[in-house]
């Protein structure tokens, strides 16, 4: 499931936006130059980025919004939508607004159905690993 989520979002991203890897600055900072850098990036994505963002956005923010909306008898999807919007704003990337928002929705749904930040962290980490590996192979 996690692997397919990453692939689906990568395909959506390639359909709606121009590949950012053509940017000199983006390549300089985020594109691994050799196998060792790729392994370092993969480790960072799986062990730091995915878990930290998902604990904050799904485990704290989305769960908090869900609990607040339950008091007012609002539908669960409000919290998923709002959490995804905040996730997108956090990334401050207008070029990738649509794919980041859809990834946020997908991660929000994963969290809603599994009630697990760990599953979301793995899904997020795998997506990031796929993205960084594709940049390396391009």
Mind listing the pLDDT tens digit of every residue in the chain (138 residues)?
444 555 555 555 555 444 544 454 455 556 677 888 888 888 888 888 889 999 999 989 999 999 998 888 888 888 999 999 999 888 877 777 888 899 999 999 999 999 888 899 989 888 888 888 887 787
- pLDDT for residue 104: 92
- pLDDT for residue 96: 77
> Do residues 103 and 83 touch, judged by C-beta distance below 8 A?
no
- pLDDT for residue 133: 85
Other C-beta atoms closer than 10 Å to the C-beta of 95 total 12
* Backbone φ, ψ for residue 132 (5° rounding): -70, -35
Residue closest to 119 by CA, chosen among 44, 67, 65, 59: 59
CA angle (131 as vertex; 135, 96 as ends), nearest 5: 100
Encoded tokens for 99: 């794919």
> Do residues 64 and 79 touch, judged by C-beta distance below 8 A?
no
């Amino acid at each position: 499931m996690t692997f397919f989520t990453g692939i689906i979002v990568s395909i959506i991203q390639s359909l709606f936006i121009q590949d950012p890897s053509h940017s000199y600055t983006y390549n300089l900072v985020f594109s691994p130059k050799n196998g060792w850098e790729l392994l370092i990036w993969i480790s960072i994505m799986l062990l730091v980025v995915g878990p930290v963002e998902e604990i904050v956005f799904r485990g704290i923010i989305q769960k908090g919004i869900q609990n607040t909306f339950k008091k007012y008898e609002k539908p669960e999807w409000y919290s998923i939508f709002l959490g995804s919007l905040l996730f997108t704003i956090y990334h401050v990337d207008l070029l990738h607004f649509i794919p980041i928002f859809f990834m946020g929705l997908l991660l929000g749904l994963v969290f809603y159905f599994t009630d697990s930040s760990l599953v979301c962290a793995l899904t997020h980490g795998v997506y990031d690993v796929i993205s960084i590996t594709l940049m390396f192979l391009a």
